[in-house]
Each structure stands twice: as C-alpha cells, then as structure tokens.
Amino acid sequence: MQHLEFKDKRVLIRVDFNVPLDENLQIIDDTRIRAALPTLRHIIKEGGSVLLTSHLGRPEKDKDDNGRIKRHKYSLVHVVDRLQKLLNCPVHFVDDTKGQGVIYAAGALKPGEILILENTRFYSEEKRGDKTFAKSLANLADIYINDAFGTAHRAHASTSIVAEFFEPQNKTFGRLINKELENANKLLVDPSQPFVSILGGAKVSDKILLIERLVDKVDTIIVGGGMAYTFFKAMGGHVGNSLVEEDKVELAKTLMEKAKHANTEIILPEDSLCATSFANLDDPPSYPSDAIPTDSMGLDIGPKAIERARQVISEAKTIFWNGPMGVFEFPGFANGTLAVAQAVATATKSGAYSLIGGGDSVAAINQSGLADEVSFISTGGGAMLTLLEGGSMPGLAAIDENYKR
C-alpha cells in the first residue's frame, strides 16, 4: 500500500466484516471491523474514497420458505454505524452489490468517504467466482485492495477473481493481510528453535495436511483434543468411547512414522479426564489415555499430560497453537486448554514467539483472558491453516505471484 498513490482515487477493498450478530442484529464482537481500520485510515488520510465489499454469514444456507435470501438478517447495513463511529468519517451504504444503484452511489462518493456495498453472498456468483460479477465490482474502482485474510483461501469473485481486472500496479494487500503474512512467515521461514506446535480439536482428518507439513518444520508436536485418540488407537491402546476416526487409524500410524524419520517428537497426552457421556462433569476421573474404561470417553487432557505440555512449551522459542486440548466448552473439561493458554503466554513473556491460529483456540485464549499475552492471533483460522499447509491461496495469488501453487 505504501507505494500506491490514493489521492482522488476510488479504492475497492475486500474486507472481512463477517461479524457475529445477536438476535436483534446488534454486533456482538467487532474485532473484524477493527482489524480493517489501519487500511481504511490510510486511504482516507491520503485523500482516496473507499468502496467496501464483504460477506456476512451464510445467507445462501438460510433462505426463507420461498427460497429467497433473508436480506435484512444478513445485510451489511448492520455494520454501518459501528464503522462510522470507529473511523469518524462519512460511511454510506447501498443495498445492492451490483447494478445501476451501486454505480450511482459509487460515482457520488467524495474523497475521504466510504461506501459499503451489500453482502457479496446475496449473489451466487460470488462463491462461483463468476467473472462478470467480479468485473462489475472492478469497474467501480481504480485500485483493488484485498484485506480479507479470512477468505484468502477462497477463489470467490470479490476475493480473487476481481483482481484479474486490475493492472499489477493497481492492486495490493491491505495492512491486515500483510500482518498475517509477516506472522505466518515467522513460522515458515527460519523459525527460532525449539519450534513447538500444539494441535488439538476434534478430528485428525481436519489437520492431516498441517501435521504432514509441520513434521518437517517443528521439533515437537503436542497433540491433544479428540484427535489424540485416533493416535492411541493406532498404537493399540484402549480408548473406550473416545472420539476415534476409524478410517484415519492407518494414517495416524503413517504420520507417526513420518515424524520418527524427521526426528520430530509427537507427544500424546499420557492421561485423560473422562466421562461416561458427552456432558460436563464437575470432578472428572483421570485415566491413562491408552487404558480408558470401555464405558468412558476422554474429554480433556489429564494432569500428567498438562505437566508435560507445560514443560515442553516453557522451553520453546517458536509456538504455533491450533485447536483446544479438550471439550473446553464444558467447564469441567476446560482445564487442559486453559493450562496450555497460560503456558503459551508464560513462554511468550520469556521471549518465545507465539501464533494462535484457528477459531476455537482463539476463543480459548480469549476465554482465558490472555489474548494480549501472546505474539499474534490470526483473524483467519481456515486461511492460516491453508497457508501453513502450503495449500492454494487464490486471494493472495491473484495479487502476488509468489503465492501461486
């Protein structure tokens, strides 16, 4: 952005304003709007005008009885006031994403003003990556900026296809995407050793590519959450009713072999807190994770596993964390996740670099009140995982050839 001239230019910016709304359509958490402010402030200060596009929710999956989009429920009109308050500049809204109304509204925009276009996902063309739809957006502006990291792994019309209609010198990343990339590079390019990755969450299947990629990069992978039990099963352990992906047991074996060859240690939780049903328990019993009674399931890592994780994390110089260590939504099974959050914060204080990527670990770090004590929290769970996996990132590749796969 630093090299572009914005004075009297109309700038189309794809942001991620997919904020959670309550039943009265009030914003519950405006983190995503705040994350876009540095880019917006820069353009306004430089004398440009801004056209904002974003999606909000999944309107295509929640239509009314007549198969129509619920326009009010998913309208970006709900973010207008908040953005205006945060930026202190005129913010207009047009209730469409393409067509004459949008063209007029864009034409009437003055330098220093912002126009929010309606939810891009009101048109199926968005997710299809339709070129005509993308071109209609591109025609509105002189410059295109992608600052929606959360959707950078999607080849949607407004996140990647639109960029094809701008010359290389007239398109760029915004500040948020740049910050995400800088932080991802701290893991991908020459990370300080020891590099410890903490992986949790429900399923191994969601994390396979990530584990395969990390095995060559990290010194240690601490595995927790439901995915641990597929590994125990692979080693012949008894995991009771714990979550196991039977069709991934062989793969878990292969991943462990790969780790061995790469000299990467995979640490599985020695013990687990268990319950006989998927429900909260105030004082759950702990069992060795490979000897869980047949009527029980592991829902959190146990005290010995926490101790081991703490010790390994305390020695780390680079930390990547994705996925909770247990069903942290149940207070009786939140301990492992909160202990890991605390350990990551403590290691960060002692000089380690820590990146938290992925929805549920972000919720966990927020729940623990330690969000300010880690190095970086990614705004895009899926996008950050795809980037670290080395997967396709159309939203980045459309602007920077280095991201072409």
Which of these segments, 24-32, 94-102, 256-264, 326-334, binds ligand AMP (CB under 6 A)? 326-334
Residue from the set 80, 89, 202, 267 that interacts with ligand AMP by CB under 6 A:
202
Q: If you write DSSP's letter for every residue of 137-181 in order, what string do you get?
A: HHTT-SEEEE--GGGTTS--TTTTGGGGGS-GGGEEE-HHHHHHH
Query: Which of the residues 32, 179, 233, 248 is marked catalytic?
Result: 32
Return the range that interacts with ligand AMP (CB under 6 A); candidates 52-60, 202-210, 365-373, 396-404.
202-210
Task: Say whether residue 363 binds ligand AMP (CB under 6 A).
Answer: no
Annotated catalytic residue within 57, 112, 332, 359: 359
Of 6-14, 172-180, 198-206, 394-402: span binding ligand AMP (CB under 6 A): 198-206
Give φ, ψ of 242 to 5 degrees. Answer: -60, 160
Q: Estimate to the nearest angstrom the gap between the alpha carbon of 229 and the chain centroid.
A: 25
Sign of CA dihedral 24, 72, 13, 168: positive
For ligand AMP, the binding residue among 234, 321, 360, 385 (CB under 6 A) is 360
CA distance 47 to 75: 28
Is residue 206 at the binding interface for ligand AMP, with CB under 6 A as the rule?
A: yes
Among 48, 59, 237, 324, binds ligand AMP (CB under 6 A): 324
Taking CB under 6 A as the criterion, the residue among 15, 145, 204, 243 binding ligand AMP is 243
In angstroms, the CA 232 to CA 18 distance is: 38
Tell whether residue 96 is a contact of ligand AMP (CB under 6 A).
no
Closest CA to 37 of 84, 72, 106, 98: 84
Q: Is 389 in the site for ligand AMP (CB under 6 A)?
A: no
Per the annotation, the verdict on 336 as an active-site residue is no
Q: Round the CA-based radius of gyration of the chain to a whole number and report it.
A: 23
Under rule CB under 6 A, residue 201 binds ligand AMP: yes
Q: Which positions from 131 through 170 interact with ligand AMP, judged by CB under 6 A? A: none
Q: Which segment (123-131, 196-204, 261-269, 310-318) binds ligand AMP by CB under 6 A? A: 196-204
For residue 191, give every residue at least 6 positions away whose Cβ sits within 8 Å of its Cβ, in sequence order, or none.
Answer: 217, 317, 318, 353
Q: Which of 224, 339, 321, 341 is nearest to 271 (CA)?
A: 224
How far apart are alpha carbons 153 and 170 in whole angstroms? 21
Task: Give the contact letters, 279-308, x = binds to ligand AMP (CB under 6 A), - = no.
Answer: -------------------xx---------
Contact residue for ligand AMP among 284, 326, 357, 382 (CB under 6 A): 326
| Separation between Cα atoms, residue 306 and residue 206, nearest integer Å | 23
Query: Is 236 part of the annotated catalytic residue set?
Result: no
Per-residue tokens: 180 = 């995400």
Question: How many residues in the shown chain lie near ligand AMP by CB under 6 A?
Answer: 16
Select which of 71, 82, 186, 203 is catalytic. Answer: 203
CA distance readout (Å), 273 to 191, 203, 246, 315, 341: 33, 18, 22, 25, 18
| Upper half-sphere CA count for residue 215 (Cβ side, 13 Å) | 19
Check if 7 is active-site: no
Taking the C-alpha atoms of residue 304 and residue 295, their distance in angstroms, rounded to an integer, is 22
Annotated active-site residue 175? The verdict is no
Q: How far is the CB of 206 from ligand AMP (least distance, A)?
A: 5
Residues involved in catalysis:
32, 203, 359, 382
List of residues contacting ligand AMP (CB under 6 A): 201-203, 206, 225-226, 243, 298-299, 323-324, 326-327, 329, 358, 360
